[in-house]
Amino acid sequence: MRRERRVGSDRRAAAYNHPVIRATIILLLGVAAACALLILIRPVLFSLVISLVLFAALTPSLNKLRQQGWPPLRAVTVTMLITTAGIIAGGALLFPVITDQIHQIARQAGHLDQRLLAVLTTIGHWLEGNHLIHLDAEQLTTTILTTASAKMNAIHASMQAFFADIAASLLLIPLITFFLLCDFNTLRNQAMQLLPNRYFELGWIIYTRAARQLMNYIGGIATQAVIMAAICTLGFWLVGIDYAPLLGITAGLLNTIPFFGISLAKIPPIVVVLISNDPSAVNILLALCVIFAAQAFDNTYLIPRIVAKSASLHPLTVIISVMLGGYYFGFFGLILTIPTLFSLKVIHLELIRGLRRQSAHHAGTDSGKGFPSYRRL
């Protein structure tokens, strides 16, 4: 009886020592600690994330200056000054243009219901004329406008909060970015020094791999957004749709939101066609064709070559995570959920790999089985 109990407790101990279980427990503890920290720093979370993105974007330029023998502080100061000047100049140039276009769209949008009704009536007449189906244009217009209005209100609220956060963080972001550029490595090293000796090397290996893969993923997503924006802008311009650059950039940015982004990207061009001087069904089809063509190129070329290898997550995981991210953190959550999830996946896998290797060799050392294989010589 006593022996059976002992065997049972040994089995439980062995189960807890299993690398997958240990890695999962460590990860969950880490996530819990990170969540507690996120709640504490939530007021400055947005500024921190944007600063980290800027830090990642500016690091290569900083390295170039330091390669040429610039002292670190001078290199950081010059990089920050050039970036800030560039952002201010770009904002000063683009702001009037974008504001003007948005006002123009808002003025034209007042007639959106009439334009949509006209288009649907035309389509309805054509369908009835060809004895296909009966289309109640007025009812369909009301349904579409109600649904679109609800969606646009939600998006508008999220975007408004997003840009309000940017406005509120205008002073904080450059300051945090400056200190990150100066001291990120020191801060990271100090944090890694907290690791126990046994996990010091493993911790660094996991950090290095996770950081590299995350940077690849973010780089891939950014490249994808730029290419999609360029394709959509060119496509809209070729088929003669107004505000082609604005629509293209919107499509590129929305495409960074997994699964839902490309569906959302179809709304702005349709709205623009409807409020234009020629709101015909053909133009709506052409606008949709541009989006579908860009999506096809994205699916067949960009995702397999740029994004997919670095983010092989199950679609269901992605859908649920993006929905939850959007629910809890708005527009910001929609964009950042996948990189976060992806980082957790990499850390978990690397933890399992490292702990499995450690436990295998430590067990092997104890029992004399840890001798390297003959083939290695």
Residue 194 touching another protein (CB under 8 A): no
- How far lies 314's CA from each of 340, 341, 345, 376, in Å? 15, 11, 11, 37
Query: Which residue stretch of 157-165, 205-213, 225-233, 327-335 sits at the interface with another protein (rule: CB under 8 A)?
Result: 205-213
Max Cα-Cα span within the chain: 88
| Closest distance of CB 343 from another protein, Å | 17
List the one residue from 186, 277, 312, 367 that touches another protein (CB under 8 A). 186
| CA pair distance 45, 25, nearest whole angstrom | 26
| Closest distance of CB 141 from another protein, Å | 58
| Closest distance of CB 70 from another protein, Å | 10
List the one residue from 189, 263, 299, 317 that touches another protein (CB under 8 A). 189
Site string for another protein, 207-236 (x = CB under 8 A): xx----------------------------
Measured from the CB atom, the residue of 104 and 365 that comes closer to another protein is: 365
List the one residue from 140, 202, 336, 349 that touches another protein (CB under 8 A). 202
| Closest distance of CB 284 from another protein, Å | 49
Query: Which residue stretch of 9-17, 272-280, 305-313, 351-359 sits at the interface with another protein (rule: CB under 8 A)?
Result: 351-359
| Closest distance of CB 181 from another protein, Å | 12
Task: Enter the tokens of residue 322.
Answer: 């993006």
| CA pair distance 173, 180, nearest whole angstrom | 10
Residue 187 touching another protein (CB under 8 A): yes
b/e 87-98 (16+ beta carbons within 10 angstroms → b): eeeeeeeeeeee
Written as one string, the DSSP assignment of 339-352 is: HHHHHHHHHHHHHH
List the one residue from 16, 126, 200, 328 that touches another protein (CB under 8 A). 200
Residue 374 touching another protein (CB under 8 A): yes
Burial class for 336, CB neighbours closer than 10 Å (0-12, 13-18, 19+): middle
| CA pair distance 296, 286, nearest whole angstrom | 15
Residue 74 touching another protein (CB under 8 A): no
Interhelix angle 267-274/137-168, nearest 10 degrees: 120
Q: Which residue blocks in 68-136 are alpha helix, DSSP H?
A: 72-109, 112-129
Which positions from 120 through 179 interact with another protein, judged by CB under 8 A?
179
List the one residue from 95, 126, 163, 204 that touches another protein (CB under 8 A). 204
| CA pair distance 257, 247, nearest whole angstrom | 16
| Closest distance of CB 280 from another protein, Å | 54
Residue 364 touching another protein (CB under 8 A): yes
Residue 367 touching another protein (CB under 8 A): no
Task: Enter the tokens of residue 170.
Answer: 């205008």
Q: How far apart are the first and last CA of the chain?
A: 49
Question: Angle at the Cα of 269 (from 268 to 271), degrees rounded to 5?
Answer: 65
Residue 197 touching another protein (CB under 8 A): yes
Measured from the CB atom, the residue of 161 and 202 that comes closer to another protein is: 202
Do 123 and 291 form a contact (C-beta atoms < 8 A)?
no
Residue 67 touching another protein (CB under 8 A): yes
**355 Cβ contact partners less than 8 Å away, ≥ 6 residues apart:** 19, 22, 23, 202
Residue 365 touching another protein (CB under 8 A): yes
Residues that bind another protein (CB under 8 A): 63, 66-67, 179, 183, 185-187, 189-190, 192-193, 197-198, 200-202, 204-205, 207-208, 354, 357-358, 360-362, 364-365, 368, 370-372, 374, 377
